[in-house]
Amino acid sequence: MPDVRPHAKLTHEGALKILHAALAKAQEIRVPQCIAVTDDGGHLLAFVQMDGARRLSQRSAIRKAQTAASNQAPTGGIPAELEVKLALATGGAVVNLKGGLPIVVDGQLVGAIGVGSGTQDQDVEVARAGIAALSAATPV
Amino acid sequence: MPDVRPHAKLTHEGALKILHAALAKAQEIRVPQCIAVTDDGGHLLAFVQMDGARRLSQRSAIRKAQTAASNQAPTGGIPAELEVKLALATGGAVVNLKGGLPIVVDGQLVGAIGVGSGTQDQDVEVARAGIAALSAATPV
Amino acid sequence: MPDVRPHAKLTHEGALKILHAALAKAQEIRVPQCIAVTDDGGHLLAFVQMDGARRLSQRSAIRKAQTAASNQAPTGGIPAELEVKLALATGGAVVNLKGGLPIVVDGQLVGAIGVGSGTQDQDVEVARAGIAALSAATPV
Amino acid sequence: MPDVRPHAKLTHEGALKILHAALAKAQEIRVPQCIAVTDDGGHLLAFVQMDGARRLSQRSAIRKAQTAASNQAPTGGIPAELEVKLALATGGAVVNLKGGLPIVVDGQLVGAIGVGSGTQDQDVEVARAGIAALSAATPV
């Protein structure tokens, strides 16, 4: 087995492209949102809090992205009997709200987007629109 | 779209007026309370802990105000299936107890009041009395 | 004394304009940066971490903006004998590194920008370029 | 030795009297302040953040009061070689900035006041004016 393996990294240009596409969708559906894009390690690459968004959704938007990056899967699918256990075990880092999606390019996780302040379905719609702006990204 | 938009700020005089009116109501109904007034960003503007109030209600009173400010709505209305998810996702910041009310002037959120230590209905009654002292504020 | 006073709020459009102007300057001088724009209460409105920026500068960039917003002044001017005392007294929130600048429009503090990952002079240069994009903002 | 001993408690009326006297002094000298009054255990009894005060001084004002209550002495007198050790050992709770004063009645510590956002001398002046409003309190 090799000591290092090739991997793709999301650039800040890519992160901002996703951010602005998500923002455009949020404006189109008239839902003020907090939108966060992280790298595959969960570190914040780009963020915007729209006028009128819930301020406390800043935290949940970032945590949704971090959870999606960590799980390499959309957020919100943790079985009910596990959600509190996992949240407690990770100091609240793992959230179980919809609105976090992994960003996958050529089968590699390069980051995640987390959206919060709308309904969970609105959050997902905005997150999807963000990822759709990255032509190489796998739709989620 | 403009870079800045006009907004109103609650003054400390306004915050203290609300605090004292809430305090007077709590004394009238003989329920010792913790009473917190924040700005629209959730920062504490004025606070009082009455003699005999539950000390740990200091935290919940402040969090009620912060949740009401963030949601721009009275606290306590989060559906049961979401309340733990939202609390976990925000590190406990989002609370689902009655007693937090947004302070709205001319259609603009300028802050919030949070009251804790009584029953939830008593907390709401005291919070409402606080807001009623601000003649320009929208009754909640 | 009035209960509320008029104030201006930085919109997300304004915050993103500042962010992109700062980003352009950082690209021009070829220094990867973390760039944060907050409102006047220190809440994050917009953020970008450039490719190659120091990851831990995310924290300091945000704290620089929050310190500049709180002090309503550029960061880095705290006298040496006070800097540790103030950092300790605020749980590390008050930082004394250059690179945080208040955003003032018509004499009102509407937010702040914080830049970190370059030298302090580079951070200030990038922050200034950000503010310069807001035609109504007072140069700092 | 008895199992319990008599002690005086600062009422919320007393705390608010101190708060408003400190506020009046801050307005007189035209320095926006954060003002906190705690009980002898360091629990917040009353608080106000004046218009234009540094937001991050909320924390330091409360910690000054808590440090003064804990030390039963004015803050700011910790020897230089101890101040970092004590701050680290207490998770930042012990601060070494002037502006915290114990409230002593008939030789008993009943609480403390902490003031922050001005210069340290202004903070002390405002704190003293607060305590002076309590006729029974020992001047500090």
Q: Would you state the pLDDT for residue D140?
A: 86
- B4-12: average pLDDT: 95
Contacting residues of C for B16, CB less than 8 Å apart = none
What mean pLDDT comes out for the span D105-122?
97
Classify the C-alpha dihedral D66-D72-D75-D78 as positive or negative.
negative
Q: Tell me whether residues B5 and C13 touch, CB distance under 8 A.
A: no
Angle at A53 between CA A47 and CA A58, to 5 degrees: 45
Q: For residue A2, count CB atoms less than 10 angstroms from its CB and return exposed for 0-12, middle for 13-18, buried for 19 or more.
A: exposed
Q: Tell me which chain A residues have a C-beta less than 8 angstroms from the C-beta of B67.
A: 56
Average pLDDT of the residues of chain B: 96
Q: Is the pLDDT of residue C1 over 80?
A: no
Render pLDDT for B59-101 as a digit per residue (tens, 0 to 9): 999 999 999 999 999 999 999 999 999 999 999 999 999 999 9
The helix-helix angle for D120-132 and D12-28 (nearest 10°) equals 130
ipTM entry: 0.96
Give the long-range contacts of residues A85-89, CB within 8 A, separation 24 or more.
Answer: A87/B88
Strand ranges inside C28-140, DSSP E: 34-39, 44-49, 100-105, 108-116
CA-based nearest residue in chain A for residue B94:
A56
Say what percent of chain B tops pLDDT 90: 96
* Each residue's pLDDT tens digit, A76-129: 999 999 999 999 999 999 999 999 999 999 999 999 999 999 999 999 999 999
At position A133, the amino acid (one-letter code) is: A
Which is more confidently placed, D16 or A80? D16
Q: Is the pLDDT of residue B1 over 90?
A: no
Which chain B residues have a beta carbon less than 8 Å from that of C8? Answer: 4-7
* pLDDT score for C39: 98
* Chain A residues with beta carbon closer than 8 angstroms to that of B89: 59-60, 63-64, 92, 95-97, 116
**Mean pLDDT, residues B27-54 taken together:** 98
Predicted confidence band of residue B140 (pLDDT cuts 50, 70, 90): confident
Which of C9, C43, C48 faces A46 most closely, judged by CB atoms?
C48
State percent of chain C over pLDDT 70.
100
Mean pLDDT over each residue of chain C, to the nearest integer? 96
The answer on pLDDT for C129 being more than 80 is yes
Tally helices (H) and strands (E) across chain D.
Answer: 4, 4
Q: C39-71 burial, b for 16+ CB within 10 Å, e for fewer?
A: bbbbbbbbbbbbeebeeebbebbbbbbbbbbbb
Sheet holding B34-39, edge to edge: B100-105, B108-116, B34-39, B44-49, D44-49, D34-39, D108-116, D100-105
Report the neighbours of C using a cutoff of 3 or more CB pairs below 8 angstroms.
A, B, D
Res B128 pLDDT > 80 = yes
Is A60 at the interface with chain B, CB within 8 A? Answer: yes
**pLDDT given at position C26:** 98
B65 touches chain D (CB under 8 A): no
Q: Per-residue DSSP letters for chain B?
A: --SEEEEEEE-HHHHHHHHHHHHHHHHHTT---EEEEEETTS-EEEEEE-TT--TTHHHHHHHHHHHHHHHTS-SS-S-HHHHHHHHHHTTT-S---S-EEEEEETTEEEEEEEEESS-HHHHHHHHHHHHHTSTTBPP-
Does the pLDDT value for residue D1 go beyond 90? no
The span from the CA of C126 to the CA of C116, in Å, is 9
pLDDT tens digits for range C88-117: 999 999 999 999 999 999 999 999 999 999
Interface test with B, best of A30, A31, A54, A66 (most B CBs within 10 A): A54
